[in-house]
Amino acid sequence: MARYEIIGGNPLNGTVTISGAKNAAVAILPAALLVDGKCRIENVPDISDVRHLLNILAGMGAKIEKPEPGVVEIDSTGLGCTEPDPALVRKMRASYYLMGVLLGRFGKAHVALPGGCNFAARPIDQHIKGFMALGADVEETDEYVDLRPGPDGLQGNRISLDMASVGATVNIMIAGVLLPGQTIIENAAKEPHIVDLANFLNTMGARVYGAGTDTIKIRGVESLKGGTYAIIPDQIEAGTYLAAVAAAGGNVLVQNVIPKHMECITSKLEEMGAKVINYDDSIRIMQSGRLRRTTVKTRPYPGFPTDMQAQICVCMALASGVSRLTESVYETRFFGYCTELESMGANIQVSGKTATVVGVENLYGATVCAHDLRAGAALVIAGLSAQGTTYVEDIHYVERGYENLIGKLTALGAEIRRLED
């Protein structure tokens, strides 16, 4: 299995360009199947989750072309498949968006239950509740979800989510776009990729209002037309590079970002002592010397993202003083990386939802294992800032969500290589 070798200790300097947002791409690409025509989607990240998803869509009969780097054209004219290949679907989380897409376009779907990063129990009861409110009969087993029109047919309805779930908001939004009547999602997720999906759908002719607030209204339309859309920059990829500079030191311009999306992250890094300058579509971060302790609680957007929990933990591990990190979205997320960081010399005690991180002066190279995508990214940051050589194993998780990680870090002066075994 391939792994990363990182010789730590080099500060990061230069410019890094952020790719399109993974979690927007994995919603927008399947949503293109709602369009009986051709969509040109730009700023698509070249990551394994996207490649995998495109294989699923191609297997369903969509015509996929990549006319230039970062651009994907999807033509689903005449598509009829409502049962995507279960073996492929099980390999990634976001494949469950095909449930909403197929229900919306064809009125039925038979989709295997998804795989993905298993850092916590990840139920889909809110998605199912939404489909049922839209009039679907749902059969759910341990293996698959089967959706069909119920006795009164499919139509818009009001759905109040028990928690602001990103996945349920996406699935209900894409299911509702082509249904008759109005669908209202209350307590909707507000993450930037929710707004991006709504903007994509509206560009293709949908009528989605209020995305980015906690109430989204969708007025059903008869059909969507093709068009061109560019995906927003990846908030978490950008946050990962900012955290890497904060931990390893240096001076980096992170470009192709939306600074407003980054405020929840940059404000914490500033509190820890990093110098941050915002420009229109880029952020400069400068760090030398030791970071200061802080307190972070993860929350849905616009709070501090759970997907940055592990990366900020590395910064805390190296800061002076005792930091506290509380997870409020996925309780068990600490287990993916805290033990690995401890093997590099970090001092972290996890108790329930909170990690107490006693800062140390140095981390030391070790062989560590990535248990999920963001945990893996955090271990790479730890390796960059550690003394000695770190080997990060199970890097297929990292490659699900970071485009050209080695190339981007090497250009910033890091010593990192991908070793094939």
Residues with a catalytic annotation lie at 117
Query: CB neighbours of 345 closer than 8 A, spacing ≥ 6?
Result: 360, 362, 363, 364, 386
Closest separation between CB of residue 330 and ligand EPU, Å?
Answer: 5
Q: What are the DSSP calls for 288-316, one per residue?
A: -SPPBP-EEEB-STTSB-GGGHHHHHHHH
Residue 222 φ then ψ, to 5°: -75, -35
DSSP assignment, residue 421? -
Task: Kindly state the smallest distance separating residue 333's Cβ from ligand EPU, in Å.
Answer: 8
Using an 8 Å Cβ cutoff, are 381 and 414 in contact? no
- Cβ proximity of 271 and 310 under 8 Å: no
The DSSP code for 332 is G
From the list 171, 86, 179, the residue with the least C-alpha distance to 131 is: 171
- The length of the chain is 421
Minimal distance, residue 229 CB to ligand EPU, in Å: 18
With respect to ligand EPU, which residue has the nearer C-beta, 307 or 340?
307
For residue 93, what are the contacts with CB-CB under 8 A and spacing of at least 6? 26, 114, 115, 116, 117, 122, 167
Of 235 and 294, nearer to ligand EPU (C-beta) is 235
Binding site for ligand EPU (CB under 6 A): 22-23, 26, 93-94, 117, 122-127, 163, 165-168, 189, 306-307, 329-330, 373-374, 401
- Please give the residue whose beta carbon sits closest to ligand EPU in the complex: 167
Please, which residue, 229 or 319, has the CB nearer to ligand EPU? 229
Here the tokens at position 278 are 């915002």
Torsion angles phi and psi, residue 280, rounded to 5: -60, -50
Q: Output 75 or 234, the one with its CB closest to ligand EPU.
A: 234
State in angstroms the smallest separation of the CB of 209 from ligand EPU: 21
Residue 113 burial by CB count (10 A; 0-12/13-18/19+): exposed, middle or buried?
middle
> Between residues 114 and 220, which has the closer beta carbon with respect to ligand EPU?
114
* Residue 418 · residue 42 · CB < 8 Å: no
CB of 21 to ligand EPU, least distance (A): 9
- Least spacing, CB of residue 78 vs ligand EPU, in Å: 28
Find the helix packing angle between 166-176 and 125-133, rounded to 10°. Answer: 20
The sheet with strand 282-287 has its strands ordered as 12-17, 250-255, 282-287, 275-278
Reduced to 3 states, what is the DSSP secondary structure of residue 373? helix
- Nearest residue (CB) to ligand EPU, 184 versus 319: 184
- 315 vs 208, 267, 304, 400, 419, CA distance in Å? 39, 14, 15, 23, 26
CB of 80 to ligand EPU, least distance (A): 26
Residue 136 or 373: the one with the smaller Cβ distance to ligand EPU is 373
